[in-house]
Structure formats: structure tokens, C-alpha cells
Copies of this chain bind each other. A is one copy, B any other.
Amino acid sequence: MRRSRDVVVVALYDLFRRRGFEGASLSDISEATGLGRSSLYHHFPGGKDDMAAAVTDFATEWIGKKLLAPLKTDAPIDARIAEMLAATRRMYDGGATPCLVASLIISPGLDQKSVVRIRNIVRDWIAGIASALTANGLPGDEARRRATSAIIAIQGALLVARACGEDRIFGETLDRLQQELLS
């Protein structure tokens, strides 16, 4: 159960990260999900705010499962970092698809609840990497510094690649992150 709703939420996730919150109109949403306006309000009584909440919830869960869980296994640290970075590459289609966090954090009209969820996604991502590095023997502050730099590089590379129209920039940045985190 909730399966059909999940399909809708994935479509919303894809739309919001490509067009932002205000840029995704109800007409866009209706077309992307295949649902009419009333069906959308049946699933999300609070309208777009409810949709954003569902999408940020979905993203939180997805990132926890695909990016953070691999960091907590008992595999070697190199393999754990590599898996996180590989999942990151897939999540952004090698740099071709924008990041939900980046697209939503700029939108002025975003509900405060969703802003908090976005904030926690970024914080948890940094904390997850830092935690893996400290467990491997790195001092806490240095681990945190490297983890923050990694997320900065990922987000910055996505944006610069898009702005320049050179997807290659994102891939090359990811290629360097593994050694920079573990050097």
C-alpha cells in the first residue's frame, strides 16, 4: 500500500528538482503525475506545500538509504566512501540532473517545514561522512572539515557544470573526492 502514492511522489521529486518549487506549476504537476487537479488535492490536501513536504520526506529517506547507509557498513572505509560517491553520481545522473536541495533552497515561497527538512538533509549528509572518517581514526574536526568540503564540492560542481554547460566538470570533481577524503 501507498505504492501508487510513491510513484506520484517520485514524479514530484523529479519535477521539483528540475524546476524548483515556484517553477513547477499545478499544470506541470498534473502533466508529470498524470493526475487531475482534484486528485492531487485528494492526495495532498495542503496543496503544493504538502507536495514539497512529501518530496523532502522522500529525499530524506532516499539519501539515508542510498548514501548514508553504505557509510555505516563494516566494509573498508575506501569501499564505503566509494559506494557513497557512486550513489551520488547516479542520483545526479552524472551531473545532468539538478539537486533538489539546491533547487528548493533558493525558492522564496517554500514552506518552512520543508526548509528545515532540506537543512537536515545537508547536515545529515555531512555528519554521515564525518562519522565514517572519525571511526576510521581521523580527528573529529578534520573529519568534519573534509566532509563539509566534499558536500561543497559536490553542490558547487553541479551548479558550475550546469552554468557552464559542461557536464564533464561534475564527473571530474567526483573523481577527485575519493582521494581528497581519504588522503
Contact = CB atoms under 8 A, between A and B. Distances in A.
Interface of A: 18-20, 22-23, 98, 101-103, 105-109, 118-119, 122-123, 126, 148-149, 151-157, 159-160, 162-165, 169, 173
Q: How many copies does the complex hold?
A: 2
Most chain B Cβ neighbours within 10 Å, of A103, A154, A155 = A155
Contact of A108 (B23, B109, B160): B23
Contacts of A101: 159, 163
Given A152-B169, A155-B155, A156-B156, 14 more contacts: A20-B20, A22-B23, A101-B159, A101-B163, A106-B106, A148-B160, A148-B169, A149-B153, A152-B152, A152-B157, A152-B160, A155-B156, A155-B160, A159-B159
B156 A19 contact: no
A167 B129 CA distance: 21
A164 B165 CA distance: 27
Contact of A122 (B102, B105, B155, B164): B164
